[in-house]
Each structure stands twice: as structure tokens, then as C-alpha cells.
């Protein structure tokens, strides 16, 4: 019998490898992993508040400020005063932001398709959705 590897270790090892493979594409498009995660989340839906956005991507609200500052300066997201609450600010993707995240993801998906056949990948992801 071969030694049973811990699930956490196995998943972490594979995740590290996949993230490393994504890295060159993120760099090519000039975004960090956290920025990419944030843009992906905003593409799904605008964030009513920054706090909600921070929670959604599992990021610290105080670190989110600098992240948003950078993305806003580069014209990828906008911060607007929220409708009902003057303390809060809605965060939205700009057209440029939407284009950036979409083209980045397209290349990352292409990279993944080179790793394993599309059918196998889809089956694996369906299986992992149970978690």
C-alpha cells in the first residue's frame, strides 16, 4: 500500500502549480492575482459596498483600498457613492475593466485546455463542485 496523502496537502500542491501556470498570463495583462479575483467578482455583479466586495473575495477590507485605488487609476473600475447610504460606495467594472478580465481569462482557459482535454476538465470541475 502506498502512503495516503492528506487531502489538504494534495489540493494545495496542485493549486500552487496551477497558480504558477497562471502567473505569466496575469503578468502579461498587468494584473495581480488579487486584482484578477476582484475583477472576476465584479464581472459577475457590481458590488453594493466595498465591504461586501472584500468579503466576497475573502480579502481584508483595509487592503482592499489600495487594490481599488490602483484599479481605479488604471480605469478598470469605478467607485460611486451608493444610492441609499452616503457612507458606502458601489464598485463597478468599466468597459475597459470588463475587456481586461475577459481577455485575461480567455488566455488562462486556453492554458488550462492545454493541460487536459476539455471533456476531462469539465468532468473534474463538476466533481469538485461537490466541495
Partner DNA sequence: TATTGTTATACTCTATAACTATA
Partner DNA sequence: TATAGTTATAGAGTATAACAATA
Interacting residues with DNA (CB under 7 A) = 34, 49-52, 60-65, 68, 79, 82, 85-89
Question: Please, what is the minimum distance in Å from the beta carbon of residue 55 to DNA?
Answer: 10
Please count the residues of the chain: 131
**Binding partner of residue 57 among DNA, a copy of itself, none, CB cut-off 5 to 8 Å per kind:** none
- Min CB(26)–DNA separation in Å: 12
69 binds a copy of itself (CB under 8 A): no
Give me the torsion for CA of 121, 122, 128, 130, rounded to 10°. -170
Residue 79 has what DSSP assignment? E
Neighbour tally for 50: CB within 10 Å: 19
Stretch that binds a copy of itself, among 69-77, 79-87, 88-96, 111-119 (CB under 8 A): 111-119
Q: Which segment (17-25, 46-54, 71-79, 93-101) binds a copy of itself by CB under 8 A? A: 17-25
Q: Does 60 bind a copy of itself (CB under 8 A)?
A: no
Distances (CA, A) of 97 to 21, 30, 104: 22, 12, 11
Alpha-carbon distance of 104 to 24, in angstroms, equals 11
Give the helix/strand (H/E) hosting 66. Answer: helix 61-73
Residues that bind a copy of itself in the complex, under the rule CB under 8 A? 3-12, 14-19, 21-22, 37, 40, 44, 58, 105, 108-109, 112, 115-116, 121, 124-125, 127-128, 130-131
Amino acid at each position: 500500500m502506498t502512503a495516503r496523502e492528506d487531502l489538504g496537502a494534495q489540493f494545495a500542491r496542485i493549486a500552487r502549480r496551477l497558480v504558477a501556470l497562471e502567473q505569466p498570463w496575469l503578468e502579461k495583462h498587468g494584473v495581480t492575482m488579487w486584482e484578477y479575483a476582484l475583477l472576476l467578482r465584479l464581472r459577475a455583479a457590481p458590488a453594493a459596498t466595498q465591504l461586501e466586495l472584500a468579503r466576497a473575495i475573502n480579502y481584508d477590507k483595509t487592503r482592499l483600498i489600495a487594490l481599488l485605488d490602483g484599479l481605479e487609476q488604471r480605469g478598470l473600475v469605478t467607485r460611486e457613492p451608493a444610492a441609499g447610504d452616503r457612507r458606502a460606495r458601489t464598485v463597478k467594472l468599466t468597459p475597459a475593466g470588463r475587456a481586461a478580465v475577459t481577455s485575461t481569462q480567455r488566455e488562462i482557459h486556453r492554458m488550462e485546455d492545454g493541460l487536459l482535454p476539455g471533456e476531462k476538465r469539465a468532468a473534474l470541475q463538476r466533481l469538485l463542485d461537490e466541495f
